[in-house]
Amino acid sequence: MAKAFKVKLNGQHELTVDASQGSLLEALEQHQIDVHYHCRNGFCGACRTKLICGKVKYTSEPLAFIRKGDILPCCCIADSDIEIEH
Amino acid sequence: MSYSTFSQEQSDPLKEPMFFGHSVNVARYDQQKHSIFEKLIEKQISFFWRPEEVDVSRDRVDFNKMTDSEKHIFISNLKYQTLLDSVQGRSPNIALLPIVSIPELETWIETWSFYETIHSRSYTHILRNLFSDPSEVFEDIVINEQIKKRAADISRYYDDLIFYTQLWQTQGEGQHEVDGEVHNVTMRELKKKLFLCINSVNALEAIRFYVSFACTFAFAERELMEGNSKIIRLIARDENLHLVSTQHILNLWQYGEDDPEMKEIAEELRDDAYNIFMTAVEQEKEWAHYLFRDGSMIGLNEDMLCQYVEYIANLRMEAIGFDAPFENRRSNPLPWMNKYLVSDNVQVAPQEAEISSYLVGQIDSEVSAADLGDFDL
Ligand code: FES
Ligand SMILES: [Fe+2]
Ligand SMILES: [Fe+2]
């Protein structure tokens, strides 16, 4: 099993995710979180999320501009325990 | 500074700003200042599609069963989209190619515009199927007050930049009088016009299509006009790429990763940029009002559409460094929209309306398999 990490979401939910759940976006969906997305492919930026602390790893190269402090959960996975605002 | 189609002057494209540097001479892509534009070109080309591949013939039956108010919604949206793509099919080329100064961005602009012409051609494909003579629909685009109002705002910033660029290229910097009006042409002024223009294009690609997308997909939710919906999904996928390119340009300026003067201008004109976006938001809401003036359609009304515009505007504004203007619109009021905007679904699952090229491919492969079976090799 892939290594599990904790995700703190919007300062309230505490979830556990691991890479076998797919992208961070898919992992959030599996926890019934209402997520924002369009392309699910890293090129529209609709899934833009604030990374407050921790690290993520991109599984494919995103084409959307990633502003400082943002991540695109449709094409990355957690690489440590993370705190995000989505 | 007159434009040359092949400047003999030597320059290092890796040191050029995106715009207003030396004009591009050698179209080379082995090295890139902003490699993102090369990646966008590749992605966009990989999305190639032809309107004729999508079978829209069954839409005619659906269309004829629609109520008058639904027909008004459907046709008005097509008119508005036709306007948008008419502008976008030419304007990035005319306004931006004369001033672009890195090859990867130059080619991105050409690629981008080319796809807008595919969109335009697809509206003809859709309308030809619905009407034996679609002239009336096309002709109304330059008469219809609601559309004209939007057209004026969309083309204004492009036209202004084009005009100033022409003055600059023929007469250089300075005060130039044209038809009794004095124009103060300076590099700073040109760059400001460019900044406003890119913001206006960004707003166009970011939200101006989404009211009509929502209507199209609301019909598709009821299994109506599915050929049309298939085409609009392909268009929506392209528009996302276009949007990402304007967001990149704006962010590169803002972060000082390109022309330092553009960074100053981005700060100086921040309020104007904000207002351009918010005006587009207001116009889209008014458009929703106009669409539903004779009645709404099942699954969608003016209120929901306006909420959706606000929801999308939040996402788009944050992408270019503004705070979300509609704080209370954080959740998606039309969650079913997303499944039509997922890029993978577009080609992988042709679903209801089949893409005829797939069928052709299938038939071909069946035939050749059978043929081969008869041969004793
Ligand atoms: S959903 Fe499009 S970039 Fe993530
Ligand atoms: Fe388009
Ligand atoms: Fe576009």
**Cβ-Cβ contacts under 8 Å for B28 (sequence gap 6 or more):** B13, B103
Say how many Å lie between the CA of residue B358 and the centre of ligand 1. Answer: 27
Least confident of A28-37, B61-70, B354-363: B354-363
Average pLDDT, stretch A18-33? 94
Distance between start and end Cα atoms, chain A? 26
- H/E stretch holding A76: strand A76-78
- Helix or strand or coil: residue A25? helix
pLDDT grade, residue B364 (50/70/90)? Answer: very low
Whether A32 contacts chain B with CB within 8 A: no
Q: What is the pLDDT of residue A1?
A: 58
pLDDT grade, residue B347 (50/70/90)? Answer: low
Contacts of A42 in chain B (CB under 8 A): none
Give me the residue spans of the domains in chain A. Answer: 4-85
CA-CA-CA-CA torsion sign (B269, B270, B272, B273): positive
Say how many Å lie between the CA of residue A54 and the centre of ligand 3. Answer: 36
Cβ(A17)–Cβ(A5) under 8 Å? Answer: yes
Cα–Cα distance between B173 and B167 in angstroms, integer?
A: 8
What ipTM was assigned to the predicted interfaces of this complex?
0.93
CATH class of A4-85: alpha beta
Question: Does B265 fall in a domain?
Answer: yes
Say how many Å lie between the CA of residue B137 and the centre of ligand 3. Answer: 22
8 Å CB contact of A39 and B341 = yes
Among A46, A1, A45, A33, smallest CA distance to A19 is for: A1
- pLDDT tens, position by position, B242-260: 999 999 999 999 999 999 9
Q: Which of B315, B338, B344 is facing A41, going by the closest CB pair? A: B344
Q: What is the pLDDT of residue B264?
A: 98
Average pLDDT, stretch B72-98? 95
Residues of B contacting chain A (CB within 8 angstroms): 36, 39-40, 43, 237, 240-241, 243-244, 247-248, 251, 315, 318-319, 321, 331-332, 338, 341-344
Average pLDDT, stretch A54-73? 96
> Does residue B144 have a pLDDT over 80?
yes
CA-CA-CA-CA torsion sign (B217, B218, B222, B228): negative
Q: What is the pLDDT of residue A8?
A: 96
- pLDDT tens, position by position, B222-246: 999 999 999 999 999 999 999 999 9
Q: What is the pLDDT of residue B368?
A: 46
8 Å CB contact of B240 and A43 = yes
Q: What is the pLDDT of residue B356?
A: 44
Average pLDDT, stretch A37-46? 96
Q: What is the pLDDT of residue B225?
A: 96
- pLDDT tens, position by position, B291-339: 999 988 998 999 999 999 999 999 999 999 999 999 999 999 999 999 9
> Does residue B372 have a pLDDT over 60?
no
Q: What is the pLDDT of residue B359?
A: 42
- Phi and psi dihedrals of A50, rounded to 5? -85, 130
Contacts of B43 in chain A (CB under 8 A): 43, 63
Say how many Å lie between the CA of residue B240 and the centre of ligand 3. Answer: 8
For ligand 1, say whether the CB of A37 is within 6 Å of any of its atoms. Answer: yes
Q: Which of B243, B247, B343 is facing A40, going by the closest CB pair? A: B343
Say how many Å lie between the CA of residue B221 and the centre of ligand 3. Answer: 24
Q: Which of A33, A50, A63, A70 to mutate to test the interface with B (most CBs of B within 10 A)?
A: A63
SS3 per residue for chain B? CCCCCCCCCCCCHHHCCCECCCCCCCCCCCCCCCHHHHHHHHHHHHCCCCHHHECCCCHHHHHHHCCHHHHHHHHHHHHHHHHHHHHHHHHHHHHHCCCECCHHHHHHHHHHHHHHHHHHHHHHHHHHHHCCCCHHHHHHCCCCHHHHHHHHHHHHHHHHHHHHHHHHHHHCCEEEEECCEEEEECHHHHHHHHHHHHHHHHHHHHHHCHHHHHHHHHHHHCCCCHHHHHHHHHHHHHHHHHHHHHHHHHHHHHCCCCCHHHHHHHHHCHHHHHHHHHHHHHHHHHHHHHHCCCCCECCECHHHHHHHHHHHHHHHHHHCCCCCCCCCCCCCCCCCHHHHHCHHHHHHCCCCCCEHHHHHHHHHHHHHHHHHHHCCC
- Helix or strand or coil: residue A19? helix
For residue B274, the domain's CATH number is 1.10.620.20
Q: How many domains does chain B have?
A: 1
**High-pLDDT (> 90) share of chain B, %:** 82
Average pLDDT, stretch A21-25? 96
* Distance of residue A49 Cα from the nearest chain B Cα, in angstroms: 10
Question: Does B361 fall in a domain?
Answer: no
Q: What is the pLDDT of residue B11?
A: 86
* Distance of residue B98 Cα from the nearest chain A Cα, in angstroms: 25
For ligand 1, say whether the CB of A74 is within 6 Å of any of its atoms. Answer: yes
Whether A61 contacts chain B with CB within 8 A: yes
- pLDDT tens, position by position, B93-102: 999 999 999 9
Domain extent, residue B77, equals: 35-341
Tell me the pLDDT of chain B averaged across its residues: 91
Ligand nearest to the CA of A74: 1
Enumerate the β-bridge partners of residue A71: A49
For ligand 1, say whether the CB of A5 is within 6 Å of any of its atoms. Answer: no
Least confident of B8-12, B54-58, B223-227, B354-358: B354-358
> Does residue B166 have a pLDDT over 60?
yes
Q: Counting atoms of ligand 1 from 1, which one is nearest the CA of A73?
A: 4
Average pLDDT, stretch A34-44? 95
Q: Counting atoms of ligand 1 from 1, which one is nearest the CA of A39?
A: 2
Contacts of A61 in chain B (CB under 8 A): 39
Q: What is the pLDDT of residue B366?
A: 43
> Does residue A45 have a pLDDT over 60?
yes
For ligand 1, say whether the CB of A35 is within 6 Å of any of its atoms. Answer: no
Q: What is the pLDDT of residue B232?
A: 96
Q: What is the pLDDT of residue B370?
A: 46
Average pLDDT, stretch B3-26? 90
* Distance of residue B255 Cα from the nearest chain A Cα, in angstroms: 9
pLDDT grade, residue B345 (50/70/90)? Answer: low
For ligand 1, say whether the CB of A3 is within 6 Å of any of its atoms. Answer: no
